C-alpha cells in the first residue's frame, strides 16, 4: 500500500485536510463543492504562510477554476493534497492540485485554480508580489515530455 501522506511525485507541497461529517451528501460521499473549498483553503493557507496578507493593498482574485473527479472520498477519510505551480505569469499563477484519499492514496480529483493579483482598490492587475514569486518559483512544475 502506498504511503498516502508522502509527497506525490511532481507535487512539492503536501497538505492533509480532514473531511467533516457534513461534507458527505445524500449519495454517501463528499459533495463536489467541498473539493473546491478545500483547494481554495489549502492554496490560501500556503500564500499566507509565505507572507501574503489578504487584507493588504494587493489581493488575489480567482477568475478560473477546474476540477476533474476521478474517485469518491467519504468522511472520515482525509484529503491529502499535492500542490504545485503549473504556470507563473507576471500577474497571475495557475495552481495545480492533486487530491488523494488519505486511507489508500488513490487520486480522487485533479484541480486547477488561477489567481490574478490585483490592486485592492482599482482591481487592476499588478505583478505577483516578489516575496510570493520567489516562494512559488521552486513549485513550478517541470516540463513533461
- CA torsion through residues 124, 33, 70, 140, sign: positive
**Residue corresponding to grid cell 493534497:** 81
- CA torsion through residues 6, 45, 135, 117, sign: positive
pLDDT per residue rounded down to tens, the chain (145 residues):
455 667 788 999 999 999 999 999 999 999 999 999 999 999 999 999 999 999 999 999 999 999 999 999 999 999 999 999 999 999 999 999 999 999 999 999 999 999 999 999 999 999 999 999 999 999 999 865 4
d(CA 130, CA 88): 12
6, part of any domain: no
d(CA 45, CA 100): 18
All residues at 6 or more sequence positions from 26 whose CB lies less than 8 Å from its CB, including other chains:
none
Instruction: Using alpha carbons, select from 60, 58, 103, 113 the residue that is nearest to residue 83.
Output: 113
50, part of any domain: yes
Measured CA angle at 40 (ends 113, 141), to 5 deg = 45
Domain carrying residue 86: 13-139
31, part of any domain: yes
144, part of any domain: no
How far is CA 35 from its chain centroid?
10
Looking at the structure of the chain, the number of domains it has is 1
8, part of any domain: no
What pLDDT is recorded for position 3?
56
110, part of any domain: yes
5, part of any domain: no
d(CA 121, CA 51): 20
98, part of any domain: yes
Q: What is the CATH number of the domain that holds 73?
A: 3.10.129.10
What pLDDT is recorded for position 5?
67
Amino acid at each position: 500500500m502506498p504511503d498516502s501522506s508522502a509527497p506525490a511525485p511532481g507535487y512539492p507541497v503536501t497538505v492533509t485536510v480532514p473531511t467533516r461529517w457534513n461534507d458527505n451528501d445524500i449519495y454517501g460521499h463528499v459533495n463536489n463543492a467541498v473539493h473546491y473549498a478545500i483547494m481554495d483553503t489549502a492554496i490560501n493557507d500556503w500564500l499566507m504562510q509565505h507572507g501574503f496578507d489578504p487584507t493588504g493593498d494587493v489581493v488575489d482574485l480567482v477568475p478560473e477554476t477546474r476540477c476533474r473527479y476521478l474517485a469518491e472520498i467519504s468522511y472520515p477519510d482525509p484529503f491529502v493534497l499535492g500542490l504545485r505551480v503549473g504556470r507563473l505569469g507576471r500577474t497571475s499563477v495557475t495552481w495545480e492540485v492533486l487530491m488523494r484519499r488519505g486511507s489508500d492514496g488513490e487520486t480522487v480529483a485533479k484541480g486547477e485554480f488561477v489567481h490574478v493579483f490585483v490592486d485592492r482598490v482599482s482591481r487592476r492587475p499588478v505583478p505577483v508580489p516578489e516575496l510570493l514569486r520567489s516562494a512559488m518559483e521552486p513549485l513550478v512544475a517541470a516540463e513533461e515530455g
